[in-house]
Structure 1
Amino acid sequence: MADIRGGDAGVRQWLRGIEVFARLLPGFAPERAPAEPVALFLDWLAEAVAAGVPDPHAMTLSTVDASGAPDARVLLLKGVDGAGWQFAGRAFSPKGGQLACRPRAALTFYWPEHGRQVRVRGTVTAGSAQDSAADFLGRSATARAEALLGRQSQYLTDPADQERALAKSLAMIEREPSLVDTAWTLYTLEPTEVEFWQAAESRVHTRLRYERCRGGWERFPLWS
C-alpha cells in the first residue's frame, strides 16, 4: 500500500496517481437517445445488471433539511415508470422529515464498471397507504422488523438493546405476518431534469440532459 502520510500534498499526489476510466467503456451517441429519459435509464440499468455490476439499483438520495443543509444516503430503487423514480422509507425518519419540509430531491446512480452516471432531480410525493403497505410487506422479515422499531438514526448506547428489540419485533411479525408499519411510505420523485453521463478514458466525457417541458421532454447535449 502506498505511503500517504506525507501530509496534504502526499494525499493529493497519491489521489492524482490513481488510474481513472482506464478500461474499455461503452459508447454513447446522444443523437440516437430515445425521446424520454425512462427508456434510456432502463437500458443502462439492464446493461449494468447483465454485466454483473454489484447492486446496480443502488442510488444516492440527496435532500435538504429545514435549515437548507444538504444530506445524502444510499437507498435501493423500488421502481421507475412514466410517473417517476420510486424509493421508500419511514415518514418519521430524517429523510422523511426533510421531504415533508422540502419535497424536492435528487437521485444519483453510478455504475463504475461502465463509467456511467445518471442524475435525476425533481419533486417528491408520498404514495398511497395501499401502495406503501404493499412495498412494506414485500420486504424481508428482518427488514420489516427493524422498520417497526422506529428507531432509525437514533443514538445507540448498547448494541444488546438493539438485538433484544429486534428479536421482539421479529416475534411480533411471526405472530402477525401481515403487520404493516403505517409510517412506511413509498415515495415517487417526479423528474424535472434527468442527466446521463458517459465517461471516456480521454476525459472528454459525453453528457445529455433531458429537461421537462410542456407536453414532454427536450434533450440538450452538454459540454463535458
Structure 2
Amino acid sequence: MAISDMRRQYSSGSLTETDLTATPLPLFKQWLDDAINANIPDPTAMTVATVNANGQPSQRIVLLKDVSESGFTFFTNLGSRKASEIEANPNVSLHFPWFFMERQVRVSGVAYKLSVKENAAYFFSRPKDSQLAAYASRQSQPLSSKQLLLTQFHQLKEKFAEKALPVPDFWGGFRVEPSQIEFWQGGEDRLHDRFEYNRGEDDSWQVQRLMP
C-alpha cells in the first residue's frame, strides 16, 4: 500500500463546548489523567520546538515533569541545543501526541529557567544512575563513540559509589508559561474537534472552536 493511501477513520470520541473548562489547565489535567490511566506508552512525552538564530525550527521529545497554573516543566542539560536556543529566544511550542486516544494538545508560550532550589529538588529525586548520566553526557555535543560515553558513566559510578553527587551547574529545568493551548480530538470524515484557548493581557482565558 502506498503511503498516500494510508488512512483511517477517527471515531474514539468527540470534544464539545460542554466538555470545556473555564480555563485550559483543568481540561489538560483531565486529558493527561486519561492518557496515564489508558496505559499508553510515555503519556508524559511531549515535543519541545525551539528556533535558532537563523530562524530554523528544531524539535525533540522530552518528558513533562510538572504541570500547574504556572506552566509546564521539563529538565535538560543547559548546554544542549534546546537550552541554547531558548536562551536566545524563549518562545517555544509544546506538543502532546496522544494519538492512541486520537487526541493531541498544542501549547505556545515562553520558557523561563527554574530556580537553583527547584533544580536541586528534582535532581535529588532522580535515580542515582540518572544523576550520573547527567554528568556523563554533554548533551548535543559530538561523540566519537558510544564506548567513550559508557566509560565515562562507569567511571563516575565508581567514583560516587559511596557518596552523593552535587547538583551540576550545567543542568536544570524550564517552565513554559502558556499563552495559547489547543485541544484536538479526532473526528470521523476528518471533521475533527479543535478548541483553542488564548490568554489575554489580564491573564483571563478566551476559547474558540477552530475549523478542522
Q: Which TM-score bucket, shorter chain as reference? A: over 0.9
Distance 1:215 1:162, change over 3 A: closer
Between stretches 37-46 and 180-189, larger displacement belongs to 180-189
TM-score (norm 1): 0.89
Moved over 4 A (4+): none
Does 2:126 match 1:165? no
Distance 1:156 1:210, change over 3 A: same
SS of equivalent residue, structure 2 residue 190: coil
Q: Which runs of 5+ in 1 are unaligned?
A: 3-13
SS of equivalent residue, structure 1 residue 174: coil
Between stretches 141-150 and 36-45, larger displacement belongs to 141-150
Between stretches 153-162 and 47-56, larger displacement belongs to 153-162
Identity %: 31
1:112 match: 99
* Shift in Å, 1:32: 3.3
2:27 match: 40
Give matches, 1:27-66, under 5 Å.
27-66=14-53
- Verify the 8 A CA contact 2:114 2:175 in the aligned structure 1: yes
- Verify the 8 A CA contact 1:124 1:187 in the aligned structure 2: yes
Provide the C-alpha distance between the structure 2 equivalents of 1:201 and 1:82, rounded to a whole number of angstroms: 33
Q: Structure 1 counterpart of 2:87, which letter?
A: A
TM-score (norm 2): 0.94
Q: Which runs of 5+ in 2 are unaligned?
A: none
The structure whose RCO (Cα within 8 Å, separation 6+) is larger is: 2
2:114 match: 127
2:68 match: 81
Larger Rg: 1 or 2? Answer: 1
Between stretches 81-90 and 173-182, larger displacement belongs to 173-182
* Shift in Å, 1:201: 2.7
2:129 match: 142
2:179 match: 192
Aligned length: 211
Distance 1:173 1:105, change over 3 A: farther
Residue deviations 1:2-60 (CA, integer Å, cap 9, x gap): 5xxxxxxxxxxx1122233x364122113430011111011111111111111110000
Provide the C-alpha distance between the structure 2 equivalents of 1:69 and 1:37, rounded to a whole number of angstroms: 29
Q: Structure 2 counterpart of 1:97, which letter?
A: S
Provide the C-alpha distance between the structure 2 equivalents of 1:159 and 1:189, rounded to a whole number of angstroms: 32
SS of equivalent residue, structure 1 residue 43: helix
- Verify the 8 A CA contact 1:141 1:173 in the aligned structure 2: no
- Verify the 8 A CA contact 2:64 2:72 in the aligned structure 1: yes
- Verify the 8 A CA contact 2:179 2:198 in the aligned structure 1: yes
* Shift in Å, 1:125: 0.4
Provide the C-alpha distance between the structure 1 equivalents of 2:97 and 2:73, rounded to a whole number of angstroms: 17
Q: Structure 2 counterpart of 1:201, which letter?
A: E
Distance 1:157 1:210, change over 3 A: same
Residue deviations 1:85-115 (CA, integer Å, cap 9, x gap): 1111121111111111111111000111211
Does 2:2 match 1:18? no
Between stretches 65-74 and 24-33, larger displacement belongs to 24-33
SS of equivalent residue, structure 1 residue 169: helix
